[in-house]
Amino acid sequence: MSDRIELKRAKKLKGEIIPPPDKSISHRAVILSSISKGKSIIKNFLRAEDTLSTVNAFRRLGIEIEEKLPPRRPPLPRGGWGGKEGTSSCELIVHGKGFHGLKEPENIIDCGNSGTTIRLLSGILSGNPFLSILTGDDSLRRRPMKRVITPLKQMGTEIAARADDAYPPIVIKGKQLKPIRYEMPIASAQVKSAILLAGLYADGETEIIEPVKSRDHTERMLPSYGAEIKVEGLSIKIKGGTELKGRNTEVPGDFSSAAFFIIAALLMNNSDVIIKNVGINPTRVGLLDALKKMGAEIKLMNVRDVSGEPVADIHCKGAQGLKAINITKEQVPSLIDEFPIICIAATQADGITTIRGSEELRVKESDRIKAMAEGLRKMAAEVEEFKDGLSIKGPAKLKGAVIDSYGDHRIAMAFSIAALIASRTTTIKGVSSVNISFPGFYKILKGLTK
């Protein structure tokens, strides 16, 4: 794919689509399967750059992982299947060796662009008695790591990182871990999961207290592999030393990927889109509450359970008269990855939409507050930038411009949706980054706008 794309205004979106498998759940499924005893089959695993970083990491740690690609699927009516040649989903067969079955890697482990890979892996490797070095691409090597290093040091491992423990590479010499009680200073599912995974290796009960509930996929998945875990409000307790057992699991579709099409459909009159098989875990769908407050009507159909996660088909139609809203610190974790696309919705809502308490967005794959403020201003929206968020005045008549995605998949996809409601042509730079979470994004978009 050339690294830029030119997009023009579209009239409406129509069709039925299946989003790619959930990225967070795919990472966790391969991690837990690798440290369990026996074979695990993971159905509908996300075959994208980030999750393949986790697969490759465990291969380097001596785990055999087979990938079974589906036969090429015929396109769905009017929409399209979610992958490059229909393959953003695959079946993974993991031959786990138990949590003491990992071997010392012969080389540095490259976690690519994936914060989830480097942070969750740090938790596991802290309890493994060998040397490992974790690094990543230019973006990952600028992301904060002290947040995982501090609690892991308290658990007794030897761990260090560049710039006084701030940034990757991270070097770990795993030790026998001791349990801790840890009050997390920031809401982060990656930090919480790193400590929970380290807790599996500790001799006793580890307790974590979150400031605000973050996505709970790790807590939901751990017991199904045999771990002993207790969740009470914001406290999570995990017992160390219980051997995990391989199992079969299925990954639902990714709400954060579906979000781009939910909002695209809302913003274009006469749109009618059904997004099938989408995870609607309550810790992930703050966007649905926000859109309801903005006046949008979104229907959840066929609500069901898939491997311990709630799933639905989502029906969205073009909406008119959206109203501006305020999004506060407490709401941010449940819509953290939807910030870029919410900003695009805000440009079409009447009034000033404000998102505060979201300084975490400055340390994602890019500084997402800066990237959105810069791109929206180029497209002629009125934006005020704060240290911890943004405010956007709507409704704005967006104008096509040249936008830098800063190599961030969610910024590239958000501005691709903005391009569909803007005058003239919008050029987006750095679009190969969509393969981090959503190979096939542009194929689906083309199918829906046809």
In the complex, the residues that contact ligand S3P under the rule CB under 6 A are 24, 27, 115-116, 188-190, 193, 214-215, 336-337, 360
What's the distance, CA 27 to chain centroid? 10
Helix (H, G, I), strand (E, B) or coil at 275: strand
Is the bond preceding 395 in cis, omega lying within 30 degrees of 0? yes
**H/E segment holding residue 341:** helix 339-346
User: Would you say 46 or 421 has its CB closer to ligand S3P?
Assistant: 46
DSSP codes of every residue in 197-264: HHHTTBSSEEEEE-SS----HHHHHGGGGT--EEEETTEEEEETTPPPB---EEPPB-HHHHHHHHHH
Cα dihedral sign, 229-201-174-159 = positive
The CB-of-144 to ligand S3P minimum distance in angstroms stands at 9
Cα 376 from Cα 383, distance rounded (Å): 7
- Map tokens 């230019």 to a residue: 138
Amino acid at 24: S
What is the end-to-end Cα distance of the chain in Å, rounded?
21
User: Would you say 283 or 427 has its CB closer to ligand S3P?
Assistant: 283
The CB-of-332 to ligand S3P minimum distance in angstroms stands at 9
User: Would you say 190 or 449 has its CB closer to ligand S3P?
Assistant: 190
Cα 256 from Cα 427, distance rounded (Å): 23
Is the bond preceding 169 in cis, omega lying within 30 degrees of 0? yes
Catalytic residue IDs: 337
The CB-of-336 to ligand S3P minimum distance in angstroms stands at 5
C-alpha dihedral, 346 to 311 to 53 to 121, nearest 10°: 100
The CB-of-312 to ligand S3P minimum distance in angstroms stands at 20
The CB-of-352 to ligand S3P minimum distance in angstroms stands at 25
The CB-of-263 to ligand S3P minimum distance in angstroms stands at 18
The CB-of-29 to ligand S3P minimum distance in angstroms stands at 12
User: Would you say 274 or 327 has its CB closer to ligand S3P?
Assistant: 327
**H/E segment holding residue 45:** strand 37-46
Q: Are strands 425-429 and 4-8 parallel, antiparallel or unpaired?
A: antiparallel
User: Would you say 16 or 250 has its CB closer to ligand S3P?
Assistant: 250
User: Would you say 14 or 27 has its CB closer to ligand S3P?
Assistant: 27
User: Would you say 73 or 141 has its CB closer to ligand S3P?
Assistant: 141
Amino acid at 234: L
